[in-house]
Amino acid sequence: MSLGEFDLIARHFTRPARRSPLGVGDDCALIAPAPGMQLAVSSDMLVEGRHFLSTVAPERLGHKALAVNLSDLAACGAKPLAYTLALALPRADDTFLAGLARGLHALADRHDLDLVGGDTTAGPLNLCLTIFGEVPTGAALLRSGARPGDELWVSHPLGEDEPGWLGDARLALEVFRGTPGLRVPGEAFDHLRLAMECPEPRVALGLALRGVASSAIDVSDGLLGDLQHVLRRSGPDGRPLGVVLDADALPRSPLMRAQTAALQHECLLAGGDDYELLFTAAPADHGAVRAAGQRSATGVRCIGRITAESGTTVHDRHGHRVATPWASFDHFRS
């Protein structure tokens, strides 16, 4: 980076830290969790062409980079505190940096989150965020807490008109790819695109589920795939638990309902980039889960049940087995 580029970064990203003892500008940032709290930490790297298209608006890229990290905190039931941003840029572009910063700052402000440090370098476009949240010692939602008999839940937007329903990010990607046979009217595409570019992390729901959910994960690589991490880590002696899942119970948008059944199943069960919370809770906590959803203004839907026996069974409302030809769970590792 030239000196002018240092200046550009400073102009767009330097803001006073509000809650951290020491923010941007020293060798390290200093963070102090409150007494009795543990720090939850997560890193995500976003690469152009893989996690976002070169055509994405910089503001949406900023939003998404932070949203996927917030989603990891949500899945642990952690309260957001601070984040660092490391950035590789092919060139210092004022318009791009201004947009990126706007998207980051807007979402950070909504979650009272400080940008406390980072790094900037020349290189192929790459964003690496590390996020910090706090959670009372022992209260973090883990992937390993599911028990046989637990109900399986997934979050969703409250209103049908809200963007970001399960599977919609994948549906938007199919539109980008020009997949034939899609039923997406042109005027609906901008709305659909929000699901892919502006996911809404379920932070409030994650907090409300502390002490209620037995396990949780956020859906980033596809619901069935991410579910395998929970089943593997929750099983006794390395033997995964199983699940019976009702495909018809999966929440979906009106646009999704207009697609073929096969495409719906693929988008809903293997789509990825959803950033909904997938979590389990004892049947006795069914009401507590619903209350957590209401308290956090987030939809929650019961979609299945955890079994002691390994294996993933997906059926429809009539009890017929649903084919999942795109899924191969055997090789997933938690």
Q: Which residues are annotated as a binding site for substrate?
A: 51, 273, 329
Q: Which of residues 110-149 bind its own copies (CB under 8 A)?
A: 116-119, 121-124, 126, 128, 130, 132-133, 135, 137, 140, 142-144
Burial category of 331 from C-beta neighbours within 10 Å (exposed 0-12, middle 13-18, buried 19 and up)? exposed
- Our CB check for its own copies shows the closer of 219 and 256 to be 219
Neighbours of 120 (CB within 10 A): 19
List residues forming the annotated binding site for ATP.
118-119, 143, 220
Minimum separation from the CB atom of position 8 to its own copies (A): 11
- Could you tell me which stretch among 68-76, 181-189, 244-252, 265-273 binds its own copies (CB under 8 A)? 68-76
DSSP H or E run through 37? strand 37-47
Residue 310 as a binder of its own copies (CB under 8 A): the answer is no
Q: Which two tokens stand for residue 155?
A: 């979050």
In this complex, which beta carbon is closest to its own copies, that of residue 137 or of residue 179?
A: 137
Residue 35 or 325: which CB sits closer to its own copies?
A: 35
Binding-site residue positions: 27, 42-44, 51, 72, 118-119, 143, 218, 220-221, 273, 329
| Cβ 176 to its own copies shortest distance, Å | 18
Told to check if 245 binds its own copies by CB under 8 A, we report no
Closest listed residue to residue 195, CA positions, set 160, 218, 168:
168
What's the closest the beta carbon of residue 84 comes to its own copies, in angstroms? 4
Question: Residue 88 to residues 24, 127, 129, 195, 258: CA-CA distances in angstroms?
Answer: 17, 7, 12, 26, 40
- Residues 90, 52: contact at Cβ < 8 Å? no
Q: Does 92 bind its own copies (CB under 8 A)?
A: no
Given a contact cutoff of 8 angstroms between Cβ atoms, the answer to whether 44 and 68 are in contact is: yes
Secondary structure in 3-state letters for 137-158: CCCCCCHHHCCCCCEEEEEECC
Q: Where are the beta strands (DSSP E) in 150-273?
A: 151-156, 215-218, 242-246
Alpha-carbon distance of 319 to 186, in angstroms, equals: 36
- Site residues for its own copies per CB under 8 A: 3-4, 6-7, 10, 21-22, 25-33, 35, 38-45, 47-51, 72-73, 75-76, 78, 84-88, 116-119, 121-124, 126, 128, 130, 132-133, 135, 137, 140, 142-144, 216-218, 233, 328, 331-334
